Structure 1
Amino acid sequence: MFFEGTAIDSVHIPAGTYAVRSRTLPTKNSRSETKKAVQTRQRAWLVEVLEKTQLKPTQLAAGANITSTTLTRMLNNEDYSGTLSPETIERIKGAYKVPGPEEFSRSGRSPLIGFTEAARFDVHREKGELGRIVAAILHGHANMYAWRLKTMALEGVGYLSGDIVFVRMLEEGQSPRPQDAVCAHITDYQHGAAETVWRVFDPPFLVGAANDRTAYKPVLVDGDRVKIAGVIEQSYRPHALSTMR
């Protein structure tokens, strides 16, 4: 249940969600030349950021609140097959005020990273009471981040477009529980693009919980093309949005 108003305790904590599993099984994309191109652009971008900031990879990682191996394995290991997640790129961009790989590459192709379904909530830029409320909720939670939803993909489990959701990022080895509302990174190796989406985890799929057919199609979580980044722990609905519903 959501509570209207602007008090700090006006927080929605989901007790559980439900979604129907589909029989559709998307095929797993193999590593391709396009994926190598994405890696090449990301490596070049990291080198550019390191040169601009005059930092070492471990220092850059610390300032962006990410593990140092996330950067060093890409920079130093030619056999490494992974790519930087949208969340990692966003943290570096936010911490050092630099453009992302999509601006760096200037290839004219589809953006390398997409945040069409939500936007990071910056408590330092958000003025007024809402910014103070979100900052208070985040206080003491080093591994939690706030996002403003721009999708109705989780409407069926109580999250609406405009809600502020608080996401606990998963550490290495951690997994979400079945029926958790999650944010996930989907990489399109064919087009060199990536997107952060908001879905319900119905193992082994991500599924939408809304009437929006674009979010309904299940997506297989394979740990490569599709990775779950974090779990929604709670949310806050701004008063202006509440009065419109």
Structure 2
Amino acid sequence: MNLSFSELALNSGLAASTVTRYMNDKSGKLSVTERTLEAIAVYSGIPKNVFPGQRRLPGFGESETVPYDDKEDERLPDWVLAAIAAHKGNRNGIKPWLMKSWALDQLGILPGDVLMIDQNRRPKAGDIVVAQLTDLVSQRTETVMRRFDPPFITTHSSKMGPGRPETVDDDRVIIMGVECGVIRPRH
């Protein structure tokens, strides 16, 4: 990214010394917190525990999107919870999901956005979908948000760069739902 450690920290919303102090530590006694790693991952678009330039394999690492659970996740502001409830109404199969990656930033979907996903809707070309990618060897599964360009799902990201299209085959790649609304909470 052509940034100094201080610039990386500041751009990630951290104190400039947070990263430089750790990187310059010769004693090996300092460590980096999960909060620091998460802030850098959100800013850079590079998942935690993945070096820049490495291809992230499906099923290895944290999912790019997760269902929102107000009992486990950081509680969203009341107006966001009211918007989620209003959007769901009395419809079945509408669930809020939290976007955690930059995979769709060119389509206006940013980390921290809440996407309302309709699990009953059939995807059409150009829809944003939640999909599961399974590594058939290890049987590990990763949940992602992608654009549906039949028969593929694709990323659209300036931060992550081009991603390999994945063929939707209902075995290794399964579409779980279609986006039907976006809520952008900002603290």
3-state SS of paired residue (1:148): strand
Change in Cα spacing, 1:227 to 1:202, as seen in structure 2 (3 Å) is same
3-state SS of paired residue (1:234): strand
3-state SS of paired residue (1:133): helix
Counterpart residue type for residue 199 of structure 1: R
TM-score (normalizing by structure 1):
0.47
> What is aligned with 1:211?
158
Change in Cα spacing, 1:181 to 1:215, as seen in structure 2 (3 Å) is farther
CA shift, 1:236, in A, is: 0.5
The answer for unaligned runs of 5 or more in structure 2 is: 1-58
> What is aligned with 2:137?
190
1:161 aligns with 2:108: no
Q: Deviations over 1:167-189 (max 9, x none)?
A: 0013xxx6310011111111111
1:136 aligned to which of 67, 72, 86: 86
Counterpart residue type for residue 136 of structure 2: Y
Structure 2 distance, partners of 1:176, 1:184, is 11
1:121 aligned to which of 68, 73, 78: 68
2:99 aligned to which of 149, 154, 160: 149
3-state SS of paired residue (1:230): strand
Give the RMSD, CA atoms, in angstroms: 2.3
Counterpart residue type for residue 211 of structure 1: S
Structure 2 distance, partners of 1:195, 1:146, is 18
Q: Percent identity?
A: 31
Comparing both chains, which one has the higher relative contact order based on Cα–Cα distances under 8 Å and sequence gaps of 6 or more?
1
CA shift, 1:132, in A, is: 3.1
Structure holding more strand per residue: 2
1:222 aligns with 2:172: no
1:201 aligned to which of 148, 151, 154: 148
CA shift, 1:114, in A, is: 6.9
Structure holding more helix per residue: 1
Q: Deviations over 1:203-232 (max 9, x none)?
A: 111110112446621111111111111111
> What is aligned with 1:180?
127
Alignment length (residue pairs) = 126
Structure 1 distance, partners of 2:97, 2:162, is 18
